[in-house]
């Protein structure tokens, strides 16, 4: 029985069961593999974050450049709009001035046509003036003939009356009658001359008035008309040039608007890429948080396994202490003293006052026992144990 107890003590000297070691090794391998995978994923995610940050910086620079270009294009469009509005105002002002000049030219044309019609009427009346003079002469001659016939009739009457009177009175009366007729003829001739002179003066005045008033006005109106026509031509040329400039400006504005739309589409694509990058970043951050959570869970599980392992070791150490205590209680004092480097009291003290873990002590004791084991000594000890124990 003592030999069996000693063999039991030697066999149960601090060696852990193999399934516990295999389980611990398996757990350590799982933890190492999980740590390796998580570290590789973390490094990949950090590389992705750095790459996405560089892309964000590049896209931010591109967006700033596109915003600057958009601002410059908007300024150009604003300037072009102001210039086009100014050109339109100038065109409207020139059109108004052109309309005014057209109305003025129409008025002048009407006045010129009126003066021409009056001049034509005067020119038509000029050849009729001599005819009127001839008519006046014919009329005067007819009146003279009537006067002569009337005078003759009077003279006949006077002669008939004077035949009855003296011949001297007859001659005197005839002389008076001739003098009166001569005076009347002279007065008629003077009146006709005055009428003729008046008509000639009126004709001369009419010609002079036409030459003084109408002809200079006509020449002046012609000159003004030519100047207005030249001004109209210059205004039309300016309007055409302004319209061409306006067309060029509108084409430039359309080109700038197309460029602005392109820049806006580019900024939209950049914004979309930024949004996608932000989504990727959020996804990577969520993945990182999940990885950190998994690492924390693995650490917690490792701590739990360590706690379980420590508990198992404590239970195993307690079981071994109980086994050693039971075996020590069954062994006699002499047998315990014959064990090299071990005594019963020392074993009890080591069991009661334990500061070092049991596994290390058992390993040290096993090594000492193995090193101190000798088959001859063990045979002699077995023989001594077989003899009766005599004190002293």
Predicted local distance difference test score (pLDDT) of residue 30 = 92
How far CA 377 is from CA of 6, 19, 366, 380, in Å, comes to 15, 36, 17, 5
pLDDT tens, position by position, 333-366: 545 555 444 444 444 454 444 444 444 444 444 4
pTM of the predicted protein model:
0.34
pLDDT tens, position by position, 114-131: 877 877 777 777 676 666
Task: Give 163's pLDDT tier (boundaries 50, 70, 90).
Answer: low
Predicted local distance difference test score (pLDDT) of residue 392 = 32
Q: Which of 69-78, 133-142, 349-358 has the highest mean pLDDT?
A: 69-78
Structure tokens at 176: 């008076």
Task: Give 185's pLDDT tier (boundaries 50, 70, 90).
Answer: low
Give the position of tokens 């009537």: 146
Task: List the domain boundaries for the chain.
Answer: 92-147+187-272, 332-392
Average pLDDT over residues 253-262: 79
Task: Give 268's pLDDT tier (boundaries 50, 70, 90).
Answer: confident
Residue 200 has pLDDT above 60, yes or no: yes
Predicted local distance difference test score (pLDDT) of residue 31 = 92
**How many residues comprise the chain?**
392
**pLDDT over 70, % of the chain:** 65
Greatest CA separation found in the chain? 250
Residue 332 has pLDDT above 70, yes or no: no
d(Cα 333, Cα 339) in Å, to the nearest integer?
10
pLDDT tens, position by position, 229-251: 777 787 778 778 777 777 787 78
Predicted local distance difference test score (pLDDT) of residue 32 = 92
Predicted local distance difference test score (pLDDT) of residue 166 = 52
Predicted local distance difference test score (pLDDT) of residue 33 = 93
């Amino acid at each position: 029985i003592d030999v069996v107890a000693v063999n039991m003590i030697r066999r149960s000297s601090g060696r852990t069961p193999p399934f516990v070691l295999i389980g611990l090794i398996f757990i350590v391998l799982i933890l190492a593999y999980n740590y390796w995978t998580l570290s590789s994923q973390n490094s990949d995610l950090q590389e992705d974050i750095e790459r996405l940050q560089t892309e964000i910086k590049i896209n931010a620079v591109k967006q700033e450049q596109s915003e600057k270009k958009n601002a410059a294009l908007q300024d150009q469009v604003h300037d072009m709009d102001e210039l086009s509005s100014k050109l339109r105002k100038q065109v409207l002002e020139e059109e108004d001035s052109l309309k005014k000049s057209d109305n003025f030219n129409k008025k002048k044309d009407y006045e010129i046509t009126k003066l021409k019609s009056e001049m034509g009427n005067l020119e038509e009346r000029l050849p009729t003036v001599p005819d009127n003079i001839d008519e006046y002469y014919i009329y005067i001659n007819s009146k003279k003939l009537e006067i002569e016939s009337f005078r003759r009739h009077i003279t006949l009457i006077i002669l008939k009356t004077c035949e009855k009177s003296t011949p001297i009175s007859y001659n005197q009366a005839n002389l008076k009658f001739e003098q009166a007729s001569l005076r009347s003829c002279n007065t008629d001739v003077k009146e006709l001359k005055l009428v003729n002179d008046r008509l000639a003066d009126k004709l001369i005045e009419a010609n002079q008035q036409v030459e003084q008033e109408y002809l200079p006005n006509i020449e002046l109106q012609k000159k003004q008309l030519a100047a207005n026509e030249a001004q109209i031509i210059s205004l039309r040329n300016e309007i055409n040039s302004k319209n061409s400039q306006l067309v060029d400006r509108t084409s430039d504005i359309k080109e700038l608007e197309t460029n602005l739309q392109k820049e806006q589409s580019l900024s939209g694509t950049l914004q979309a890429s930024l949004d996608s990058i932000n989504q990727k970043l959020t996804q990577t951050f969520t993945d990182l948080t999940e990885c950190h959570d998994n690492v924390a869970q693995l650490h917690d599980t490792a701590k739990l396994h360590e706690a379980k392992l420590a508990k198992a070791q404590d239970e195993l150490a307690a079981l071994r202490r109980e086994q050693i205590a039971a075996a020590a209680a069954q062994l006699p004092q002499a047998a315990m003293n014959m064990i090299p480097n071990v005594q019963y009291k020392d074993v009890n003290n080591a069991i009661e006052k334990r500061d070092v873990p049991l596994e290390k002590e058992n390993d040290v004791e096993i090594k000492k026992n193995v090193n101190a084991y000798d088959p001859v000594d063990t045979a002699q000890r077995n023989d001594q144990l077989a003899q009766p124990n005599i004190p002293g």
